[in-house]
Chains A and B, each alone.
Chain A
Amino acid sequence: MTTRKTLGLATAASILALSGAWANEINIAREMDANNYDPHKTTALAAAEILFMLGDTLVSIEPDMQTLSPALATSWEVSADGLTYTFKLRDDVKFCDGRPMTAEDVVYSFNRWLDPATASPVKWRAGEVESITAPDATTVVYKLKAPFSELLYQLTQSFATVIDRNQVEALGQDFGIQGMNGTGPYCWESWNPRDRLTMTKHAGYAWGPAFYENKGEAQIDRLVWQVVPEENTRTIALMTDQTQITQYIPYIALEQMKVAPNLNVVQSDSAFWTYFIGFKIDHPSVADPAVRRAINMAIDQDALARDQFFGGVQGARSYISFETKDWDPSVEAELPKYDPAAANALLDEAGWVAGPDGIRVKDGVRLAPIGYFFTGSTWQKLSEYTQAELRKIGVDLQVEIFDATVAWGKMATQEFDAFGMSYPYVSAGDALNLYFPSTNIPTPNRMNWKDPETDQWLSEGKAALDDATRAGAYSKVLHKVHDANVWLPLIHEPRTIVSSKRLAPIVPHSNYGAALYKGLDLKLVE
């Protein structure tokens, strides 16, 4: 071959490589990065997205967010007293470094999760554990001190990912930062914080959840998770094929995306992620149940969903979506309905009199609750919409905005009256046990909701040995907290995936908001 020919070929090859045309590689755009990728040390959605792909859990959950599905465990048995869970594991599972995974690895992972030295913020999700043991290489016995009806659902979360002891010990504090050797369909390649995380296909992977059509290894060789914080940039990156898939699309662009010839838009039917404003029920002004009820009657959540989110989300009147496991449909009839006139009348009746500026006052207390919110366009829309609507009933919501770096600390104090928050959940029990036990004051129970009955019912729900008892106990809590209007629910956010037509359309999963979940159905159609 002549030098000129070689040069020509090399040039052509590099042009092809640059355009990515022949590489079986896709770029995934997302809004933000995680603080780390150690399953026990982060609660970020951005971490869950990655961990579901890098690792596996014993149990998996189907996209309906109700049905459990075998994953690393092929089967499990629960003892009659609800205290002992016995998992039978697959025997063909390997870590990315080639080492076979055994029950010992599962035991090590769970014990690290529970170890006080790990200081995991999500330790409560594992229940009150007596012991976790491995009688043989494919059996794990999970013994509880008290029954925990949520356990199997909690074990589907990324916090229950099986990790590699050798790597944890080798990397120490850098585990989840310099690497995370898991058993998942993809393997860690590199991470450049706040820029990109790259993963490659796990060759030989054959233990994905049963509900995936693809029973074998991943169909994409390499995934690049690119952080693109600015939403217009993400939109343009998708339209110009610089990125092939994202779940972080501005709702204003959805209609354009739907008609774009090169894009697919798929939305999940149900939402398991809710935005709400919570009230500190022992602070003046919002301590009055009439005020909280009036606030709930002053917001038209459907109009909010339509006008601010262009119909891409659902207006929320309940604290969890109606499709959530253990939601009680009888609560729906009792929820306050949008009626600003009735809200005004309710406040008049409660003795809140409008002052010269239109803001209501009672016994020297001005109805001007201080609200703490996160920066960012979603909370900007939600807080300003709520603020404008509440002014119409004489409530002057003070919107104070904090960057995420300080917001969490600020929201752990008692210095505000209301706070904006959003959260994912798998079930009613998951949501209620996070926010409403009195032991979770001051955070995440920022409402200071201290109610012995609630605590009692939550314990009953957790300890329930059958579905009906559990649902019954949680139903009582749902009735009580909705009746007290402890929150102002705003929107339920379904997962929406916008992807290039070069990829097969993907049905979004809702587990912890990680729409791509294990990514086994990602594939190029060309």
Chain B
Amino acid sequence: MSVTDTIAPAADEAPARRHWLAALMRDPAAALAITVFLLIALAAILAPWLAPHDPAESTRNMMLPPAWAERGSAEFPLGTDGQGRDILSRLLHGTRLTLLIGLVAVVLGGGIGSLLGLLAAFYSRLDPWIMRTADVMLSFPAILLGLALVAVMGAGVTPVILALAVATIPDSARIARSVAVGVMKQEFVEAGRALGLPDRMLFTRYLLRNCISSIMIFMSLRFGQVILLGSALSFLGLGARPPASELGMMASQGRDFMLFAPHIAIIPSLAIFVIVLTANVAGDALRDVLDPRMRS
């Protein structure tokens, strides 16, 4: 993805905003994806109130199938897992943790990476240092990084967030730099310089505001990838600690029962699928309406 648009600095954006929201909802696929994603996010936020059971409480009803299947029970709408815990409750709480991990990692990694990318474009002296470091980081797979962090810190949510954030930094630095380099060549930046504006103002008012939409688009697209990567790390047993639930971890635990009670693995895997799909479609749609070159 290469996004190198420029928008004139500091215009009144209210009509434009209304325009892109409307454009977004005009695309049925995007509208559906955004609605589904928002519903999932809402359910995750309300998990403690929506969940019918304590997600950590084990009953003696191991491996019950979903309510609609034979032997299913209305008490456990999506059935129970190998420890007899309610899958629906674990799914709601697990989605909450999964989304939280993804959000924190993207904001943290994307924030740091973008700042570095903008700095690289703004101060050309820093450029080679920052970008070569980013290149080195790019060559290091996130899974390996996660394994290394967990070996040092022990399994848990924090090392996974750190690993995902670190994995996001180089990509976002590259994107932010590529956008910012284009902006830096614009005449209004030259004009700002000529007027003697301080660096701080040039950086925030001229550079950051012109790059922010591209950075946001990148982060929204990256969100799906981070969720997937985070679930993969949890699947390997590096993420949340029991009895907490996390979608990747739930899928991993269900793997043992794949031949006999496949719903234990399939339900959380489907949830990951839907979250990643809707996040990606929504991110794509957002790019389509926000990227001036794609507006036609």
Tell me how far the C-beta of A367 lies from the nearest C-beta in chain B, rounded to whole angstroms: 16
Q: Knowing A307-B84, A400-B154 touch, does A375 contact B237 (C-beta < 8 A)? A: yes
Tell me whether A400 and B83 are in contact (CB under 8 A): no
Interface SS of chain B? loop
Tell me how far the C-beta of A39 lies from the nearest C-beta in chain B, rounded to whole angstroms: 30
A45 lies within 8 A of chain B by Cβ = no
Residues of B within 8 A of A235 (CB): 259
Tell me whether A406 and B259 are in contact (CB under 8 A): no
Partner of B260, one of A230, A252, A303, A401: A252
Cα–Cα, bound, A308→B253 (Å): 13
**Which of A7-15, A345-353, A385-393, A464-472 contacts its partner?**
A385-393
Tell me whether B56 and A250 are in contact (CB under 8 A): no
Q: Knowing A231-B256, A252-B256, A400-B154 touch, does A387 contact B242 (C-beta < 8 A)? A: yes
Tell me whether A387 and B60 are in contact (CB under 8 A): no
Residue in chain B with minimal CB distance to A388: B58
B residues within 8 Å of A by Cβ? 56-58, 60, 62, 82-85, 151, 154-155, 237, 241-243, 253, 255-260
Cα–Cα, bound, A253→B258 (Å): 11
Residue in chain A with minimal CB distance to B83: A384
Residue in chain A with minimal CB distance to B57: A388
Cα–Cα, bound, A389→B62 (Å): 14
A380 lies within 8 A of chain B by Cβ = yes
Residue in chain B with minimal CB distance to A252: B260
A residues within 8 Å of B by Cβ? 230-232, 235-236, 250, 252-253, 256, 303, 307-308, 375, 377, 380-381, 383-385, 387-389, 391, 398-403, 405-406
Tell me whether A391 and B56 are in contact (CB under 8 A): yes
Tell me whether B260 and A399 are in contact (CB under 8 A): no
Residues of A within 8 A of B242 (CB): 380, 383-384, 387, 399, 401
Tell me how far the C-beta of A109 lies from the nearest C-beta in chain B, rounded to whole angstroms: 37
Cα–Cα, bound, A469→B48 (Å): 61
Tell me how far the C-beta of B283 lies from the nearest C-beta in chain A, rounded to whole angstroms: 33
Tell me whether B155 and A401 are in contact (CB under 8 A): yes
Q: Beyond A377-B256, A398-B241, A399-B242: 19 further Cβ-contacts under 8 Å?
A: A230-B255, A231-B256, A232-B255, A232-B256, A232-B258, A232-B259, A236-B259, A250-B256, A252-B256, A252-B257, A253-B259, A303-B60, A307-B62, A380-B242, A384-B243, A399-B241, A400-B155, A400-B241, A401-B155
Cα–Cα, bound, A384→B257 (Å): 16
Residue in chain A with minimal CB distance to B54: A391
Tell me whether B155 and A402 are in contact (CB under 8 A): yes
Q: Knowing A307-B62, A308-B82, A375-B237 touch, does A387 contact B243 (C-beta < 8 A)? A: yes
Cα–Cα, bound, A47→B257 (Å): 29
Cα–Cα, bound, A402→B57 (Å): 24
Tell me how far the C-beta of B94 lies from the nearest C-beta in chain A, rounded to whole angstroms: 15
Tell me whether B260 and A307 are in contact (CB under 8 A): no
Residues of B within 8 A of A400 (CB): 154-155, 241
Residues of B within 8 A of A253 (CB): 259-260
Q: Can you list 18 residue pairs at the A/B interface with Cβ under 8 Å? A: A231-B256, A232-B258, A253-B259, A256-B260, A307-B60, A308-B62, A308-B83, A384-B242, A388-B58, A388-B83, A388-B243, A391-B56, A398-B241, A400-B155, A402-B155, A403-B151, A403-B237, A405-B151
Cα–Cα, bound, A308→B257 (Å): 11
Residues of B within 8 A of A384 (CB): 58, 83, 242-243
Residues of B within 8 A of A388 (CB): 56-58, 83, 85, 243
Tell me how far the C-beta of A304 lies from the nearest C-beta in chain B, rounded to whole angstroms: 11
Tell me whether B260 and A402 are in contact (CB under 8 A): no
